[in-house]
């Protein structure tokens, strides 16, 4: 049994000291389970496997039997530290220096989990286990990698068990300059196209007998980026088309290559979806290749989540109120949709979801850290949010 310590800074350190690189858990889920058990939560480990991915351990913890149901969602897994020599302190040492807590996962997102557990501890000590609502933790060990046997399956499991969530906070790092100045109410979608063009190989001196795959691929890529997909809208930045790779694999200067490949990665807003973008790609391919007999282009698609927007509603209003009550700031947080993807993409199909967490500044980098003051502030914001959500003030 781990020592219980609900101080959000110590708890962050204890979690960071578990080197839980996806899909290894390294004891992080046990620490959370022990703390929540102690508060009277009903905890269930939910290991899932299959669907062409590795096995993942997850934790669902819940308290309360009646009233509104709020969930906190997060992940204990972290990305690898990279070259450990480059780190100022060992990446899993959770060293505190100059008011900063260093370590892989400190920002993304163990400090956020620690703050929510710490706030829950204070909330339950103040209002008791029968506080008139339901509160659950949905914690996965696989957000950073495949995300196949994590949050998605926990949500399916909860539905099968007639667990209905009303609202959900995802503890990803969203703040910018100050805690709570930015929250996320949506995310852009991601789609990747793997293009393969096939022509006819030949001697560069006898080009009339060959068909250069590279020429056709570059024409297609040029067409794809010649005009923006859109100009963005009130809630989203413009969609972005990025050519991530171009591969010909030709080692000789006197050979016309037969094959040419490229990877195109698109981050798109709510003006598109994976189906409309796949049609867009096919149209561009037809435009270039319909007229050519001797070359063709095929592609594979990987769609990793549609874009979504949670319409400003009850939860974002409550969050805004709680942030200004704690920080004393009157300015409303920015309701953003930028950045990468998160498990909110799965949760949005079940309930209203908003992401609110620590400042987004060093995640996935060498010397990832969080400010001690930010941890304290975030814990207070989460506590106020619990009080406002369950009408305790």
Known catalytic residues?
77, 143
Q: In the complex, what is the shortest distance from the CB of residue 292 to Zn ion, in angstroms, rounded to a whole number?
A: 45
Q: In the complex, what is the shortest distance from the CB of residue 281 to Zn ion, in angstroms, rounded to a whole number?
A: 29
Q: Which residue is nearest to Zn ion (CB)?
A: 108
354: phi then psi, degrees, rounded to nearest 5: -135, 145
Q: Choose which of 36, 109, 113, 185 interacts with Zn ion (CB under 5 A).
A: 109
State yes or no: residue 113 binds Zn ion (CB under 5 A).
no
340: phi then psi, degrees, rounded to nearest 5: -80, -165
Q: In the complex, what is the shortest distance from the CB of residue 113 to Zn ion, in angstroms, rounded to a whole number?
A: 10
Binding mask 3-22 for Zn ion (x = CB under 5 A): --------------------
Which region, judged by CB under 5 A, interacts with Zn ion, from 25-33, 103-111, 285-293, 373-381? 103-111
Which region, judged by CB under 5 A, interacts with Zn ion, from 10-18, 100-108, 146-154, 315-323? 100-108
Beta bridge partners of 309: 186
Query: Rounded to whole angstroms, how far apart are CA atoms 350 and 200?
Result: 51
Instruction: Give whichever of 37 and 362 is closer to Zn ion, judged by the CB atom.
Output: 362
Q: Are 135 and 63 in contact (CB under 8 A)?
A: yes
Query: Rounded to whole angstroms, how far apart are CA atoms 135 and 120?
Result: 9
Q: Choose which of 25, 33, 77, 108 interacts with Zn ion (CB under 5 A).
A: 108
CA-nearest of 265, 231, 243, 245 to 340 is 265
Instruction: Give whichever of 149 and 327 is closer to Zn ion, judged by the CB atom.
Output: 149
Q: What is the CA radius of gyration of the chain?
A: 24
What does the block give as tokens for 338? Answer: 């930028």
Q: Could you give the angle at the alpha carbon of 117 between the alpha carbons of 314 and 148, nearest 5°?
A: 75
Residues numbered 142-181 forming contacts with Zn ion, rule: CB under 5 A:
172
SS3 label, residue 272: coil
Instruction: Give whichever of 142 and 172 is closer to Zn ion, judged by the CB atom.
Output: 172
DSSP string, 247-258: E-----TTEE-S
Instruction: Give whichever of 202 and 357 is closer to Zn ion, judged by the CB atom.
Output: 357
Q: In the complex, what is the shortest distance from the CB of residue 108 to Zn ion, in angstroms, rounded to a whole number?
A: 4
Query: Rounded to whole angstroms, how far apart are CA atoms 70 and 386?
Result: 9
249: phi then psi, degrees, rounded to nearest 5: 65, 25
Q: In the complex, what is the shortest distance from the CB of residue 172 to Zn ion, in angstroms, rounded to a whole number?
A: 5
Residues numbered 36-65 forming contacts with Zn ion, rule: CB under 5 A:
none
Interface with Zn ion (CB under 5 A), residue total: 3
Q: Are 117 and 6 in contact (CB under 8 A)?
A: yes
Place of tokens 């209905």: 164
Q: Are 249 and 281 in contact (CB under 8 A)?
A: no
Inter-axis angle of helices 372-389 and 111-127, nearest 10? 40
Q: In the complex, what is the shortest distance from the CB of residue 262 to Zn ion, in angstroms, rounded to a whole number?
A: 29
Instruction: Give whichever of 310 and 342 is closer to Zn ion, judged by the CB atom.
Output: 342
Instruction: Give whichever of 64 and 74 is closer to Zn ion, judged by the CB atom.
Output: 74
Give contact residues for Zn ion (rule: CB under 5 A).
Answer: 108-109, 172
């Amino acid at each position: 049994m781990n020592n219980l310590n609900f101080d959000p800074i110590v708890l962050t350190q204890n979690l960071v000291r578990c080197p839980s690189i996806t899909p290894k858990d390294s004891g992080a889920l046990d620490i959370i389970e022990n703390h929540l058990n102690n508060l009277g939560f009903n905890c269930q480990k939910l290991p899932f496997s299959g669907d062409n991915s590795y096995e993942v351990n997850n934790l669902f913890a819940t308290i309360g039997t009646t009233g509104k149901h709020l969930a906190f969602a997060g992940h204990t897994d972290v990305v690898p530290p990279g070259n450990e020599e480059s780190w100022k302190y060992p990446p899993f040492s959770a060293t505190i220096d100059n008011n900063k807590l260093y370590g892989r996962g400190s920002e993304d997102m163990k400090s956020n989990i620690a703050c929510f557990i710490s706030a829950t501890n204070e909330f339950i000590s103040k209002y008791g286990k029968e506080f008139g609502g339901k509160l659950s933790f949905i914690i996965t060990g696989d957000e950073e990698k495949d995300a196949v046997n994590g949050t998605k399956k926990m949500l399916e499991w909860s539905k099968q068990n007639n667990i209905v969530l009303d609202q959900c906070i995802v503890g990803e790092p969203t703040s910018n300059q100050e805690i709570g100045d930015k929250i996320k109410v949506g995310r852009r979608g991601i789609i990747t196209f793997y293009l393969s063009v096939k022509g006819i190989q030949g001697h560069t001196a006898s080009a009339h007998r060959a068909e250069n795959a590279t020429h056709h691929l570059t024409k297609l890529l040029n067409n794809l980026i010649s005009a923006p997909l859109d100009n963005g809208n009130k809630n989203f930045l413009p969609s972005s088309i990025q050519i991530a790779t171009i591969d010909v694999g030709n080692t000789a200067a006197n050979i016309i290559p037969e094959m040419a490949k490229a990877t195109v990665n698109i981050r798109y807003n709510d003006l598109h979806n994976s189906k409309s973008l796949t049609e867009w790609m096919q149209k561009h391919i037809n435009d270039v290749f319909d007229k050519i007999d001797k070359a063709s282009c095929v592609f594979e698609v990987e769609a990793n989540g549609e874009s979504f927007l949670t319409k400003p509603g009850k939860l974002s209003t409550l969050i805004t109120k709680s942030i200004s009550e704690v920080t004393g700031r009157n300015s409303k947080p920015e309701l953003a949709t930028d950045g990468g993807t998160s498990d909110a993409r799965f949760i949005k199909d079940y309930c209203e979801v908003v992401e609110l967490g620590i400042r987004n500044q060093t995640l996935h980098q060498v010397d990832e850290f969080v400010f001690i003051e930010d941890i304290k502030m975030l814990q207070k914001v989460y506590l106020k949010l619990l009080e406002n959500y369950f009408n305790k003030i």
